[in-house]
Every structure is written in structure tokens, then in C-alpha cells.
């Protein structure tokens, strides 16, 4: 029997979810709800039952699971309403505006015996999987620093994402993805978070983020997001004790630059840089390194929905677990607090 979905919030992301779910065998979207009459009409035009009033939507017995794709500030109240009606829930990110709100959502799912997860689909991004696989295989030895960034040239944030009241801003929009990727990849307790937020072009919300996470194993990870960069830096830049990993963009093949063991402790030639002589920062000779592209991983965003279905029907394990989402939410809260105080927030995991 097909798993039947309803979607709350039939805007850009709501439509995105309908398109993707509709391609999957054993899943279908049967209804949508939106408070905008135009979006209700759009749902009807797309061939699904469309509701202007939430309770009518929740009373629809054909809906097994709900995707919440609304502005961030109403995620909690909608999730609780769906859970109380016995509907399984996929919530768009960020799941909530605080850890306390998320805890209520998790408790509601347990209380009513439904599955609850968050659409952290970027765990399936190819660029991310390339980095994760390379680190897992030890391709660059022991990593000591990871830089993950998204930078773009357009400056302005559009729609409700530019409004603080709705939970807008880049830390909650893109930061939640990049932080989730780092935490899911690094198997070590978190020691501290330090964050700087700026409002460059969008006065009500942050449009520049620089967040640092330090882990107990000595690794430090930097997450950077900016809406006004005309010459973006690499999407990924990872340093290890045996080499470097670099990926320029989401679609870039990426490459590894590996230092040969014989050259690790060698004395390179003294180089005149024009600003004085150096041996440490001179160029590495071509005979001492080798480069290779990163393998193309097999990954599919649709696996998120497939996993959700098997959890409901077969009791499988969620890929995006509520406790993992809670850890991300803790980092987001720490980021806002660090920016407010100008001090790191210490963790004891």
C-alpha cells in the first residue's frame, strides 16, 4: 500500500517535495494545505486535494504522513498538531527556533507513536559524500581542519527568510545544513563553538556567518556563509597530516593532493618570495606530491524519503535521527549566543 503524504505550505519547497515524492514507487502526495488561497488553487491545479483550513487538512483520513514546508516560526505548532492526529512528520529545516521547541516536537511524536524526522537532505549531496568518504578512507591522513562554505554574489535575501520574526537569516537557512554535515561526519565530542554574524545587505537578519566548531580529537571545523562574495572561496578545503582535499563548487569533481611519506620531513629548497626567504612556505616540488580526482559517489536525495517509508513500514532505523537534529540545534543556539557575547560557548559532551 502506498504511503500517502500531505504537505503543509505549498510554496517553493512544498512544490519541490511534491515533485520528488511523486517520482517514487509506493509514495504519493494526496493533499496540501496553505493559508494563501492562491497556493490552494495551485494545489488543485496540480491534481491534489487542497485545503485552506488546517483542521480540515488534518481530518483527512487518507493522509498518513505530513511534510511541513512553512516559515520556520510555525514548525513546532504544526508538528504538534499533526502528531496529535496520528500523522507521521517530516519537518523542513531548521526544525525549530530553539532546543526547547524541538524537545516538545520529539516528545509529541513519542506520545502519539508516530515517526518524526527532519529534511536534512544535504547529507546526500555528492560534494559532501566525497569529503566524508575521503576522510573515512584516510586519504589525507588525520584531518586537522575542515572549511565548509557557501558564498554567493546576489546580496539580498528574499521573502520571509529576510525577516527575523519568521526565523530568517543565513545561520538558520544554510548554516543548519553545513553544521549537520560536519557533525554527522566527525565522530568526536564537541568542545566549543564560536560564531560571528553580520548583517551586510539585509538589516533584519544575518547574511554573513563565520562559525567555528572545535572537537575533542583536536579537529577544528569552520562553517562560512555569505550572500555578497563576488569571488567565492572553495566549497570545501580540508587539511590533513598527509595531504589536502579541495572542492571548488557543488558540482566540482574535486581533487586530493597527497604528500609522499618520503617528503614529509625533508628540507625543501630555500625560496625567495619577494617578501623574504622561506623554506616552510615555499612550493613543494612536483616529485614530492601526487594529485588525484575524488571518486564520484553513488548518492540520491530520494533515499531520504525511502528511508522514512521503511522506518514506518518495517521499523528500520532513521538516517536523520531526532537526537542528531537536537545536537545541530544546540550548535545553532550556541552560535547566536556566542555572537551576542563575543565569547566561545563551551560544550561538555
The DSSP symbol for 183 reads H
Q: Mean pLDDT of all residues in the chain?
A: 93
pLDDT for res 280: 65
Q: Residue 20 pLDDT more than 50?
A: yes
Task: Using the predicted structure, report yes or no on whether residue 22 has a pLDDT greater than 70.
Answer: yes
Contact, 190 vs 333, CB < 8 A? no
pLDDT of residue 69: 98
CB 90 within 8 A of CB 121: no
- The pLDDT-based confidence of 256 (bands split at 50, 70, 90) is confident
Q: What is the pLDDT of residue 287?
A: 47
DSSP, res 284: P
Q: Tell me if residue 39 falls in helix, strand or coil.
A: helix
C-alpha cell at 162: 529576510
pLDDT above 90 covers what percent of the chain?
86
In the CATH hierarchy, which fold is given to the domain comprising 3-119? Answer: Rossmann fold (3.40.50)
Across 50-64, 278-292, 305-319, least confident range? 278-292
For the chain, the domains span: 3-119, 123-254+294-300+331-346
Each residue of 152-178: pLDDT tens digit?
999 999 999 999 999 999 999 999 999
d(CA 308, CA 83): 16
Confidence at residue 272, expressed as pLDDT on a 0 to 100 scale:
72
- Give domain 123-254+294-300+331-346's CATH superfamily: Dihydrodipicolinate Reductase; domain 2 (3.30.360.10)
* Cα 215 to Cα 144: distance, rounded to the nearest angstrom: 10
Amino acid at each position: 500500500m502506498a504511503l500517502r503524504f500531505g504537505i503543509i505550505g505549498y510554496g517553493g519547497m512544498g512544490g519541490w517535495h511534491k515533485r520528488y515524492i511523486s517520482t517514487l514507487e509506493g509514495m504519493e502526495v494526496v493533499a496540501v494545505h496553505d493559508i494563501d488561497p492562491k497556493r490552494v488553487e495551485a494545489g488543485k491545479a496540480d491534481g491534489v486535494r487542497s485545503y485552506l483550513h488546517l483542521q480540515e487538512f488534518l481530518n483527512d483520513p487518507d493522509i498518513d504522513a505530513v511534510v511541513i514546508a512553512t516559515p520556520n516560526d510555525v514548525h513546532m505548532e504544526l508538528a504538534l498538531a499533526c502528531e496529535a492526529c496520528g500523522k507521521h512528520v517530516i519537518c523542513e529545516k531548521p526544525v525549530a527556533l530553539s532546543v526547547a521547541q524541538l524537545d516538545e516536537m520529539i516528545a509529541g511524536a513519542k506520545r502519539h507513536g508516530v515517526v518524526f524526522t527532519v529534511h536534512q537532505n544535504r547529507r546526500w549531496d555528492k560534494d559532501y559524500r566525497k569529503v566524508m568518504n575521503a576522510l573515512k578512507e584516510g586519504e589525507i591522513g588525520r584531518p586537522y581542519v575542515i572549511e565548509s562554505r557557501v558564498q554567493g554574489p546576489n546580496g539580498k535575501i528574499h521573502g520571509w527568510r529576510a525577516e527575523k520574526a519568521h526565523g530568517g537569516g543565513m545561520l538558520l537557512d544554510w548554516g543548519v545544513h553545513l553544521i549537520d554535515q560536519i557533525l554527522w561526519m566527525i565522530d568526536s565530542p564537541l568542545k566549543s563553538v564560536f560564531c560571528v554574524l553580520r548583517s551586510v545587505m539585509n538589516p533584519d537578519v544575518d547574511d554573513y556567518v563565520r562559525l567555528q566548531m572545535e572537537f575533542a580529537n583536536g579537529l577544528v571545523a569552520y562553517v562560512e556563509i555569505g550572500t555578497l562574495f563576488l569571488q567565492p572561496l572553495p566549497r570545501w578545503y580540508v587539511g590533513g597530516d598527509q595531504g589536502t582535499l579541495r572542492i571548488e563548487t557543488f558540482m566540482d569533481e574535486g581533487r586530493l593532493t597527497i604528500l609522499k611519506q618520503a617528503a614529509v620531513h625533508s628540507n625543501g629548497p630555500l625560496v625567495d618570495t619577494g617578501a623574504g626567504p622561506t623554506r616552510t612556505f615555499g612550493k613543494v616540488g612536483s616529485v614530492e606530491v601526487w594529485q588525484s580526482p575524488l571518486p564520484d559517489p553513488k548518492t540520491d536525495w530520494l533515499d531520504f524519503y525511502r528511508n522514512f517509508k521503511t522506518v514506518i513500514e518495517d521499523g528500520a532505523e532513521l538516517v536523520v535521527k531526532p537526537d542528531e537534529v537536537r545536537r545541530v540545534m544546540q550548535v545553532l543556539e550556541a552560535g547566536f549566543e556566542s555572537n551576542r557575547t563575543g565569547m566561545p560557548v563551551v560544550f561538555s559532551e
